[in-house]
Amino acid sequence: MTDLTLDQAGKTKSALVSTSTLQKGVAFVVLIALLIFFSVFTENFAAWNNVVNIMQATAVNGVLGVAVTFVIISGGIDLAVGTMMTLTAVMAGIILTNLGMPLPLGILGAMASGAVMGAISGTAVAKLKIPPFIATLGMMQIARGLALVFSGTRPIYFNDTPNYGLISPESSLALLIPGLEIPNGVMIMFIVAIIASIILNRTLFGRYIFALGSNEEAARLSGVNVDFWKILTYALSGLICGIAGLIISSRLNSAQPALGLGYELDAIAAVVIGGTSLSGGRGTILGTIIGAFIMSVLTNGLRIMGVQEEWKIVVTGVIIIVAVFVDIMLRRRA
Amino acid sequence: MHNTSDTVPLISVEAIHKSFPGVKALVNARFDLRPGEVHALMGENGAGKSTLMKIMTGIYQPDAGEIHISGQKVNLSDPRAAQALGISIIHQELFLMNHLTAAQNIYIGREPRKGFGMFVDEAKMRADTAALFARMKVDLDPDVEVGTLTVARQQLVEIAKALSFNSRILIMDEPTSAINDKEVEHLFAIINDLKAHGVGIIYITHKMDEVKRIADRVTVMRDGQYIDTLPAATTDMSRIISLMVGRELADATRATGQGGDVVLDVKNLNRGRAIRNLSFSLRKGEILGFAGLMGAGRTEVARAIFGADPIDSGEISIHGVTQAIRSPQDAVRLGLAYLSEDRKHYGLVTSMTVGDNVTMSSWPRFTRSRVFMNDARMREAANDYVQKLRIKTPSVDQETRLLSGGNQQKIVISKWLLRDCDILIFDEPTRGIDIGAKAEIYKLLQSLADQGKAIIVISSELPEVLRLSHRILVMCEGRITGELTGRDATQESIMTLATQR
């Protein structure tokens, strides 16, 4: 019962925002606890260098997490985010390196190709009535295969595009505020998250995403064009994957066509840890970003503590199960 | 044959009371079943038949009352206990696992074992099933996958399953609702055979002709109460109908007033078995009632007109123009609104706020440049309707699931009024709404009609249809079996048309 009152006190404008406030709160507490734990028990964890490392490591997973958050709130799932990211990076490589076109076209190409792939997944789900799990499982393989085919299975380097490093590893912020060397990739993640939050909570599109995930049939019977909004949701997810593709290829100064598999599961893990319900209708972008940070803080902290790398994977698995369990318990009591 | 008059009843229930929050489902209900008889149980929807059956099968516990089986007082604490005492029910909707065979379905959870209990004794299971089928004189393969059978044959599998428990009390809930005439004959032959073996059958139905043919006695229930038990052979069917209907219509002030233009015209609508060659028209300012029993096809008609389900053929005109309505989106654009009986699934997004739900059909109107939601204006509009329709909610920011049924219904109504819909189809407008709120919903519907909205009311509650409607269409098995107006419209005349096969 105390949970209920807490929930209502936290209610500001819309119940949509507040329903997952609690678990987002839990995720946030876990993150702070981890930060404190590692700062106290390791020497180098809190060093600025390491903080930058953690942020750098969060950027890609965070952006992919945001992409898949939209789809999950709408009641679907997108397993293709990892390989779509790879394909968009390859597209950028082809446009910039193979065709020698200017940087803005490469950026546009990556995002547009992601959006198109997403729209195709969305169409398969909305129009062909293929379950999202299957449709995006197919798209995951299609994107993975295409990335290998288009690149000729070899990495594409961005040596001819000297400014490409501006996207992720370099820090424009440090030019403005010397010393605050937050990499641009991390800044992009935060900007994507802020825009995504606005889309989700302030726009018509966002409201439809929640309605779809909460009760698609009621939305349909209210005269909502559910097919259109669903396709748009997957397209948006694909477009954001394009941004992730740019960040990762910029950091590696190359499009690695064999990369990408497994990233979708990390992204979904971040979403779930962040309190977004896999059954749709509930969730926040902030939660997803916190979830992504929890994962990279764990990896980083355990590595500094000298724990074998593989244990981090085990711990992440435990965290996912515990996070969802806490979510279920909180909802049952509310 | 058994001499029924001096045998102990197989089962008898007495003075049963059962309440649910806000509803007295059963008040002093009773029923008894003798060996070798078919005892029909009749009553309108909501008369308490299902509740009584749920008590007799251990699903519900009565608040008060006694149950005797073969003269022994028993406590049916759960469905297992009822089954152990020889009570089985064959539901209207069958509970079979489509991918398993007939034999596997019949012995699910109690398969004969062999090899130290580690393996299923398939041969024995098959042989036992074959024996059951032979006893019923039906030609069914124990190895057939149940999903490939017709509904009628699946029903036979269910009956065989009941017999496998050595059930002596068999409850059949509208067993003929989904099978054809020839299959009905076969079912009746099996029922007669079971009777000859001393099995007692409780037969729930709405169909008068079946009662006449198969039943020995008829018990009528109404409003959760026992009304009377009569011999089926010598009782006039019109008497049973009047017992089912019972109460006189207290509120005789029936709305009148028609004569507006035809706003909705439906011609020769067809959809599978559910809707057969249906035509009607609806006028401005009119409340048109659709009466009939559950499964008569009324909801299907509403969904078909609204574009929620595809139609096979038919023509729908709105304001005199023929329209192709392919989706609810098309229907809404043309000013149609459908208010489902199942508000939680089809009417509301219960996890969203009152404001979100009231405005849902009109969200694009509450945006800045069609992109950003204008929550302030949306709340204002929602507040307007909260006041106009007297929706009881602390604020428009309240989650919809926390409101009562009556207030939820008002939210759905608001949604369509805000969308400027002028043809409103209400499917069971007061289901799950308490008495006080009902009157308020009725008043609301009447004032909407007075304002020139055209309204269709689908209702299984006869007093409701009679009170609200200017004109009543009665449906049975996908067809319109009659139209009633003014003095001709009585509960008796509706029931007669609704049970016409």
DSSP one-letter string for B7-36: SPPSEEEEEEEEEETTEEEEEEEEEEE-TT
- Using pLDDT thresholds of 50, 70 and 90, give the confidence band for residue B223: confident
Overall average pLDDT of the B374-396 stretch: 92
- Tens-place pLDDT, residues B39-73: 999 987 778 888 899 999 999 999 999 999 999 99
Nearest residue on chain B to A12, alpha-carbon basis: B397
Which domains are delineated in chain B?
4-245 (3.40.50.300), 250-335+422-501 (3.40.50.300), 349-420 (no CATH)
CA distance A222 to chain B (A): 5
Nearest to B370 among A204, A222, A282 (CB): A204
Q: What is the pLDDT of residues A74-127, one digit of tens each?
A: 999 999 999 999 999 999 999 999 999 999 999 999 999 999 999 999 999 999
Cβ of B372 and A204 within 8 Å? yes
Q: Rounded to two decimals, what is the model's pTM?
A: 0.78
What tens digit of pLDDT does each residue of A16-68 get?
344 456 656 778 888 999 999 999 988 889 898 899 999 999 999 999 999 99
Contact A13 B375 (CB under 8 A): yes
Comparison of pLDDT for A298 and A25, the residue scoring more: A298
Model confidence over A140-165: pLDDT tens digits? Answer: 999 999 999 999 999 999 998 888 98
Interface touch A15/B351, C-beta < 8 Å: yes
Structure tokens at B172: 């059949």
Q: What is the arithmetic mean of pLDDT over B213-234?
A: 92
**B346 contacts A16? CB cut-off 8 A:** no
CB-nearest partner of A15 from B306, B333, B399: B399
Instruction: Please provide the average confidence, as pLDDT, over all residues in chain A.
Output: 89
Of A206, A219, A221, the CB nearest to B338: A221
Q: Which positions in chain A touch B425 (Cβ < 8 Å)?
A: none
pLDDT tens for A206-220 read 999 999 999 999 999
- Phi–psi pair at B105, nearest 5 degrees: -65, -45
Do residues B400 and B350 make contact, with C-beta atoms less than 8 angstroms apart?
A: yes
Instruction: Say which residues have a Cβ less than 8 Å from residue B139's Cβ, sequence separation at least 6.
Output: B133
Closest-CA residue of chain B to A207: B373
ipTM over 0.90: no
What six digits make up the tokens of B229?
Answer: 């038990």
- The pLDDT assigned to B1 comes to 44
Q: Write out the residues of chain A at the interface with chain B, using a CB-CB cutoff of 8 A.
A: 11, 13-16, 19, 202-208, 210-211, 214-215, 217-225, 281-282
Q: Which fold has domain A17-333?
A: ABC transporter involved in vitamin B12 uptake, BtuC (1.10.3470)
Helix spans in B91-250 (H): 102-106, 122-135, 151-164, 181-196, 208-214, 237-245
Segment B314-325 mean pLDDT: 94
pLDDT of residue A123: 98
Of B356, B361, B399, nearest to A223 by CB-CB distance is B361
Mean pLDDT of chain B, nearest integer: 88
Token pair 């609702």 is at which residue? B177
- In the predicted model, is pLDDT for residue B248 greater than 60? no
Return the higher-pLDDT residue of B295 and B232.
Answer: B232
User: Is A223 in Cβ contact with B419 (below 8 Å)?
Assistant: yes
pLDDT tens across B334-354, in order?
999 999 888 888 999 999 999
pLDDT (mean) for B117-140: 91
State whether the Cα torsion B2-B6-B12-B16 is positive or negative.
Answer: positive
The whole-number pLDDT of residue B239 equals 85
Percent of chain B predicted with pLDDT > 70: 95
**Which chain B positions have a beta carbon within 8 Å of A215's beta carbon?**
345, 348-351
- Residues of chain A with pLDDT > 70, as a percent, come to 92
Residue B426 pLDDT? 94
To the nearest whole Å, the CA of A116 is away from the closest chain B CA by: 21
Chains A, B: CB contacts within 8 A come to 92
CB atoms within 10 A of CB A318: 9
Within 8 A of B353 by CB-CB distance, chain A residues are 14-16
Residue B259 has what pLDDT?
Answer: 65
Helix axes A48-73, A263-273, angle to 10 degrees: 90
Are the C-beta atoms of A287 and A88 separated by less than 8 Å? no
pLDDT band at B230 (very low <50, low <70, confident <90, very high): very high
pLDDT digits over B181-204, tens only? Answer: 788 888 999 999 999 989 999 999
